[in-house]
Amino acid sequence: MTASADGPGSPGRFIAFLGLLGIIAASCTALGVWQVDRLAWKTALMAAVDVRSTGEALPAPLVPVNEDDTVYLRVHLQGEYRHAQSIRVKALTDLGAGHWIMTPLVTEETAVWINRGFAPGGMDSTELNRPLGVRRVVGLLRMTEPEGTLLERNDPDNDRWFSRDVMQMSAANGMTAVVNFFVDAEHEGAPNAWPRGGLTRVAFRNTHLSYAITWFVMAALALGASGWLITDRRRNKIVHDV
C-alpha cells in the first residue's frame, strides 16, 4: 500500500499538519486569555472613569499624567485665557459640524489647553464668548491626541487642525507644553452662548469579550479538526489493514 492511500498524506505530512493545528490552537487560546485580561482591565477602567467624571472636581495635576489613572478625571484650575492664541479643531457633534475652540489658560505655574467647547463652522471670533480676567475652569481631563486622525493629519503651518495635539498646538503658538493633557471645560456663560461646553461623551468601546469568544472558538475548531483527522486516519488504517 502506498503512503498516498493514508488519509491526508504521508506520516510526515500528517504529523506536520497536526503540529500546525496544535500551534493554531495554542495561539488562539493565548489570544483569548489575553482578551480576557484586557476585558478585566477595561471593565475596571470604565468603573473608575464613571466615578472620576461625576465626582467633586479636584485640583488639576500640572505635571504629565498617566492615562489609566487620570483620564476623564473632573478637575478645576484657575488662570487667564489667551484668546488671541486660540486654535480651532475640526469637530462633528450632535449640534452639527464645526470646531472645538482650544484656548490656553495661563496659570501661576504653567499654561494648560482648555477645550472651551463647540462652535459652528464659519462663526467669527467676535461672536464667541471670550471671558476675561482670572477664571476658575472646571472640566474633564483628556489626554493629548497626537498628530491628527487616521485619515487627516494636523497641518500647523496652514492652521488646519483635526485633533487636539497639546504638543503641536503649543509649538504652533511658541509655547512649551508642560503637561500631556487638555481639559474639556464645562459650559460657561449663557445657556445659548458659543462655544458650547460640556459636550464630552464619556464612552469606551469594549469588544474584548466578543474577541475572546472568537479566539476560543477558533482554538476549539483547531482542536476538533485535529481530533477528526486522528480518528479518520485510525479508521482508514483499520480498513486498509483488514
Q: What is the mean pLDDT of the chain?
A: 88
| 47 against 4, higher pLDDT | 47
- Which pLDDT score, from 0 to 100, does residue 167 have? 95
Q: 161 CB contacts (<8 Å, ≥6 apart)?
A: 87, 88, 89, 90, 102, 154, 155, 169
Return the sign of the alpha-carbon dihedral for residues 49, 142, 182, 96. Answer: negative
- Which pLDDT score, from 0 to 100, does residue 237 have? 66
Q: Is the per-residue pLDDT at 241 higher than 60?
A: no
Q: Is the per-residue pLDDT at 242 higher than 50?
A: yes
Across residues 153-176, what is the average pLDDT?
Answer: 94
What is the pTM (predicted TM-score) of this model?
0.72
Q: What's the CA gap between 87 and 164, in Å, rounded? A: 9
Q: Among 13-17, 134-138, 177-181, whose mean pLDDT is lowest?
A: 13-17
Q: Is the per-residue pLDDT at 239 higher than 70?
A: no
Percent of the chain as helix, strand, coil, to the nearest 5: 40, 25, 35
C-beta separation of 135 from 112 below 8 A: no
Across residues 41-59, what is the average pLDDT?
Answer: 81
- Which pLDDT score, from 0 to 100, does residue 33 have? 93
- Which pLDDT score, from 0 to 100, does residue 1 have? 42
- Which pLDDT score, from 0 to 100, does residue 10 have? 75
C-beta separation of 28 from 222 below 8 A: yes
Across residues 49-64, what is the average pLDDT?
Answer: 87
C-beta separation of 179 from 63 below 8 A: yes
**Angle, helices 208-241/11-54, rounded to nearest 10 degrees:** 160
Confidence of residue 8 (pLDDT cuts 50, 70, 90): very low
